[in-house]
Amino acid sequence: MLTKEQLLNKFGLSNKEAQVYIAAVSLGPDVAVKIATKAKINRGTIYDVLKSLVNKGLMSSYHQDGKVIFAPEDPDTLAQITANEEEKLLQKEQEALELIPQLKSLHKGNSNQPKVRFYEGKEGILAMVEDFLATKPETENLGISSLEKIYQIFPDYDEIYRQRRKNKGIKTRGITNDSKKTRGLANNNDTVRILPQDEVELASDITIYGEEKVSFIALEEHQPLGVVIEGDSLNQTMRQFFQLAWEGLN
């Protein structure tokens, strides 16, 4: 079960902000020193934390008997803050949708020239996966890959990609290394074929997707690297090579 501090972290509060807010709610309106003592944080940083909470609308301050008193706002304020953040996100999304066509109109270059994009690290590869999942359902994704290495890098690969792909109705066929896991996939799925054991050992991933894209991923466990080449001629050529390999494994 999450602690109160962890729950407040989900509302965007830092650990210190969560500690101070909880202490303030417990004490009621009080001076900064007492709130710092209750929260068990350094008195030298309490004013910065209180100022941040005031800016977030979770605290207010006033003068009383020559002292500055800090008062916590009602916890119901958290719901309103969440609603405000959601409204801001929706506004940003709308602004992005308006901006994208304008930026595309400024984009220069030869539309017939292949475009190349590079990706680095796990986050970069996850960005490539999102691009795979943006494929139109009527276009078949083709892959040649070491599934064992993919699962080593992304143990939750089923949730990251395979299940989401199925939910989107994206068709796929794959060629992969021989292993206990991949044999299990092949036995239950006629869209997976296995390379001969000990003859070929894949260490990378090739995905042919959409009408124009081909990706290559070096499956290095600590620092995977990827590249996407966008060009219809390369896509069609790679689809033909895949089909030759697929038929050869029948």
Give residue 62's pLDDT. 86
User: Distance between CA atoms of 67 and 138, rounded to whole angstroms?
Assistant: 69
pLDDT at 13: 82
Residue 191: which pLDDT band, with cuts at 50, 70 and 90? Answer: confident
pLDDT computed for residue 243 by the predictor: 95
CATH code 1.10.10.10 region(s) in the chain: 4-76
CA torsion sign for 103, 109, 111, 115 is negative
Where is average pLDDT lowest: 10-14, 124-128, 150-154, 179-183?
A: 179-183
Topology (CATH level 3) of domain 115-248: Endonuclease; Chain A (3.30.870)
For residue 144, what pLDDT is reported? 92
Name the nearest CA neighbour of 209 among 238, 169, 185: 238
86: CB partners within 8 A, 6+ apart: none
pLDDT of residue 188: 57
Segments of the chain assigned to CATH 3.30.870.10: 115-248
In the chain, the percentage of residues whose pLDDT exceeds 70 is: 92
User: Is it the case that residue 123 has pLDDT exceeding 70?
Assistant: yes
Instruction: Kindly report which listed range (70-84, 183-197, 217-231) carries the lowest average pLDDT score.
Output: 183-197
- pLDDT of 241: 95
- The overall average pLDDT reported for the chain is 84
Residue range 4-76, CATH number: 1.10.10.10
Element (H or E) spanning 119, and its range? strand 115-120
- Give dist(CA 13, CA 176) in Å, integer: 45
Backbone angles phi, psi at 206, to 5 degrees: -120, 125
Question: What was the pLDDT predicted at 117?
Answer: 92
**pTM assigned to the model:** 0.56
pLDDT digits (tens, 9 = 90+) for 230-240: 988 999 999 99
* Three-class SS of 123-143: HHHHHHHHHHHCCCCCCCEEE
Q: What is the pLDDT of residues 63-101, one digit of tens each?
A: 888 888 988 888 777 777 777 777 878 888 888 888 888
Top-confidence residue, 238 or 39:
238
- Let me know: does 46 contact 8? Beta carbons within 8 Å: no
Is 80 exceeded by the pLDDT of residue 21?
Answer: yes
Please, which pLDDT band fits residue 107 given cuts at 50, 70 and 90?
low
DSSP 138: T
In terms of DSSP H, where are the helices of 107-120? none
pLDDT value of position 124: 92
Residue showing tokens 């002292």: 67
